[in-house]
Amino acid sequence: QKEVEQNSGPLSVPEGAIASLNCTYSDRVSQSFFWYRQYSGKSPELIMSIYSNGDKEDGRFTAQLNKASQYVSLLIRDSQPSDSATYLCAVPNRDDKIIFGKGTRLHILP
Amino acid sequence: GAVVSQHPSWVICKSGTSVKIECRSLDFQATTMFWYRQFPKQSLMLMATSNEGSKATYEQGVEKDKFLINHASLTLSTLTVTSAHPEDSSFYICSAFSGRSYNEQFFGPGTRLTVL
């Protein structure tokens, strides 16, 4: 099993709808989880960090963490065309290196 | 968030020359920085971990003599691509731990290297 897994997409969502991005991880002792957004030709940008089970909201973004299921998700409400990007799930390993998923390409349909 | 800068943002060089890329943490001190490479439409690939005051740790398959890393201060790490060849053309990105939260890494804007 890969350490961090994401559906590569593309995930197409109509403008104004909720985009739901999912990620699973293999290391049960992981304590911190990150979502990065990467536009084409640009470097990744940290958009959400989550450390505790449950939901964390920041503007239109909500991160959800379920450590028992080893699952972390990102919801984007009121999706905008500018949200079209690749979203990377990231989890630090025991050596403090960040392990990235391969990313999910999100396309918001105007 | 913490700010990481890179210079240059893009560079074109002739095959056989060496290119140096700088990565700076602007508003925090970074004892550890990371260097990644990303080819078009592919995932980020960690090349090496740069530790201030000590030798870098390279990932398997990355030639340490070709990709020289120097982390001489708490705010600066450099990556030198020696004797560059066209297959080294890629997007090179550095990142650093801010130290403010649990292992949050902030990325520089990246350097696009084209070797002719």
Model pLDDT for residues B62-115, shown as the tens digit of each residue:
999 999 999 989 899 999 999 999 999 999 999 998 776 667 889 999 999 999
User: Is pLDDT of B51 > 70?
Assistant: yes
pLDDT for position B102:
64
A57 interface with B at CB cutoff 8 Å: no
Q: How far apart are alpha carbons A79 and B92 in whole angstroms?
A: 30
Residue of A nearest to B47 (CA): A97
A25 interface with B at CB cutoff 8 Å: no
Q: State the count of interchain CB pairs (< 8 A) between A and B.
A: 48
Which one, of A51, A64, A65, A61, lies nearest residue A85 by Cα? Answer: A61
Contact B56, B79 (CB under 8 A): no
Per-residue pLDDT of chain A (110 residues; tens, 9 = 90+): 568 999 988 999 999 999 999 999 998 888 899 999 999 999 999 999 999 999 999 999 999 999 999 999 999 999 999 999 999 999 988 777 889 999 999 999 99
- Which of B7, B57, B103 to probe the A interface (max A CBs under 10 A)? B103
Q: How far apart are alpha carbons A20 and A72 in whole angstroms?
A: 11
Give chain A positions within 8 Å (CB) of B21.
none
In SS3 terms, chain A reads as CCCEEECCCCEEEECCCCEEEEEEECCCCCCCEEEEEECCCCCCEEEEEECCCEEEEECCEEEEEECCCCEEEEEECCCCHHHCEEEEEEEECCCCCEEECCCEEEEEEC
Q: Which residue has the tokens 């918001």?
A: A108
The SS3 call for residue B21 is strand
Please tell me which of the candidates A41, A43, A51 has its beta carbon nearest to residue B107. Answer: A43
B51 interface with A at CB cutoff 8 Å: no
**Contact yes or no for B43 and A97 at CB 8 A:** no
Residue of A nearest to B34 (CA): A97
Give chain B positions within 8 Å (CB) of A36.
107
Q: Which residue has the tokens 């968030």?
A: B1
Model confidence band, residue B33 (pLDDT cutoffs 50, 70, 90): very high
Higher pLDDT, B67 or B27: B67
**Residues B3-12: what's their mean pLDDT?**
96
Q: How far apart are alpha carbons A32 and A10 in whole angstroms?
A: 26
HSE, side-chain direction, 13 A CA sphere, residue B67? 24
**How far from each other are the two terminal CA atoms of chain B, in whole angstroms?**
36
Give chain B positions within 8 Å (CB) of A92.
102-103
Q: How far apart are alpha carbons B31 and B20 in whole angstroms?
A: 20
Which one, of B34, B110, B36, lies nearest residue B77 by Cα? Answer: B34
Q: How many CB atoms lie within 10 A of CB B66?
A: 14
